Amino acid sequence: TRTQVAIVGGGPAGLMLSHLLHRSGIECVVVDNRTVEEIRTTHRAGILERDSVRLLAETGVYETGHERVITHGDRHGGIYLRFGGGSHHIDFEELVGASVWLYPQTAVFVDVHAARTRDGGDLRYGITDTAVHDLDTDRPRVTYADLDGRAHEVTADLVVGADGSRSLCRDHVEARSRYFREYPFAWFGILCEAPRSAPELIYTRSDRGFALISQRTDTVQRMYFQCDPAEEASAWSDDRIWSELQARLSGPDGFELEEGPVIERTVLPFRSFVQTPMRSGRLLLAGDAAHTVPPTGAKGLNLALADTRVLAEVIERAIGKGDLDALDAYTDRALQRVWKAQHFSYWMTTMLHRAPGQQEHRDFDELRQLGELTSLVSSEAGATYLAEGYTGWPTA
């Protein structure tokens, strides 16, 4: 096959990019070694920034008047920060005139996949042995094998690696620098059958570690708590999960956490990572292939969608003018937001998690964290910083 842009990775980033390119009359082929079913059923984060909602609602993903992200998502005007046994509301609408939407990443995938299918997109899922070649020529290629073992080849003008945190494309970027940060903890994530415990999300700092009470529907909730990275999800009974969550949420204000059967449990990886540049020659990276954030603050998907917005723009210009120089702006423009989001995710993480270590350091950190949280909730300047970052920065 000959196309203009070959996209490796058909998650939300790869699909959104192919949707935006299609709207500009640029042909592309998407390949992914996972099946649609595998992606659709892998639970990820659930919060969309204001501009991510706009990108979905205003670029023709939906038929006009049927914007599922609006009709099926829940608008949240703020979050609760919980510490010292009490909850403090951060009101994004009042502080920055913006809100976020609770709409799971799996639903974003389903919607953009439906749009690409409706528009006749060339999507090839469930393939194997994907490889990229000839990136230093003007005819880069992506090869793969189908389920029957037959070899295929896609020749393109440009290749985009939107292939996630275990990206194979990222190793082909020349002159790369890699920045890492590891954390001495992970998240234990559950889905459970229970009613909501609060109207909005609760980010909790407790002496036993972090906990996050998120939501999915009226009857299914998503929750996370800080755990050891080596924790085995299967070793935790429902009772043990609930007593740990209750211990982290309980307080003198009498807060009640609603319980129910746990229907899914997983331990989530936790790291910060950036690779620069995000482009070399005819290869460009988008989303987790170029950068990973820890989950606190739900920036991963939003950052990937922001990349696709910038990337679609520079690719349109490059292909329209037949001039690759238009791609030069991509890394710098994308990285401005990437580093803001890296800081925001790191900051939310370190403000709310308990780091192991010497007792005297832990005691200091605990009181310092409470000092930080108290100043945040009692200062309009502090709360506004949180509100701006959480609802998302404008795109450069």
Nearer to ligand DHB, 25 or 199 (CB): 199
Q: Which of 113, 291, 299, 353 is catalytic?
A: 299
For residues 221 and 196, is the Cβ–Cβ distance under 8 A? yes
Cβ 224 to ligand DHB, closest distance in Å? 7
In Å, how far are 38, 42, 162, 203 from 269, measured between CA atoms? 18, 14, 19, 19
Cα–Cα distance, 275 to 132 (Å, whole number): 18
| Token pair in block for residue 339 | 């580093």
Instruction: State the DSSP H helix or E strand holding residue 153, giving kind and residue range, or none if neither.
Output: strand 151-155
Task: Give the span between the Cα atoms of 3 and 22, in whole angstroms.
Answer: 12
222 in contact with ligand DHB (CB under 6 A): yes
List Cβ neighbours of 44 (8 Å cut-off, separation of 6 or more). Answer: 104, 105, 106, 300, 301
Binding residue for ligand DHB (CB under 6 A) from 159, 298, 319, 376? Answer: 298
- Give the residue carrying structure tokens 């723009």: 313
Counting residues that bind ligand DHB (by CB under 6 A) gives 11
User: Is residue 214 near ligand DHB by the rule CB under 6 A?
Assistant: yes
Nearer of residues 298 and 338 to ligand DHB, judged by Cβ:
298
47 binds ligand DHB (CB under 6 A): yes
Instruction: List the catalytic residue out of 140, 295, 330, 353.
Output: 295
Q: Which is nearer to ligand DHB, 212 or 341 (CB)?
A: 212
Residue 77 touches ligand DHB, criterion: CB under 6 A: no
CB of 114 to ligand DHB, least distance (A): 22
Asked if 297 interacts with ligand DHB (CB under 6 A), we say yes
Task: Please name which of 332, 349, 330, 331 lies closest in space to residue 389, comparing C-alpha atoms.
Answer: 349
Q: Is 76 a catalytic residue?
A: yes
Q: Is 392 in the site for ligand DHB (CB under 6 A)?
A: no
Q: How far is the CB of 346 from ligand DHB (least distance, A)?
A: 13
Stretch that binds ligand DHB, among 231-239, 289-297, 310-318, 372-380 (CB under 6 A): 289-297
Query: What backbone phi and psi angles, to 5 degrees, belong to 155?
Result: -100, 140
Among 10, 46, 73, 287, binds ligand DHB (CB under 6 A): 46
- Of the candidate spans 61-69, 145-153, 270-278, 290-298, the one that interacts with ligand DHB by CB under 6 A turns out to be 290-298
Structure tokens at 264: 């899914």
Mark whether 390 is an active-site residue. Answer: yes
Instruction: Return all residues near 211 (Cβ < 8 A) that are at least 6 apart.
Output: 202, 204, 223, 224, 225, 226, 245, 248, 249
Phi, psi of 277 (to 5 degrees): -70, 170
Does 306 engage in binding with ligand DHB (CB under 6 A)? Answer: no
Residues forming the site for ligand DHB (CB under 6 A): 45-47, 201, 212, 214, 222, 295-298
**Positions marked catalytic:** 76, 203, 295, 299, 390
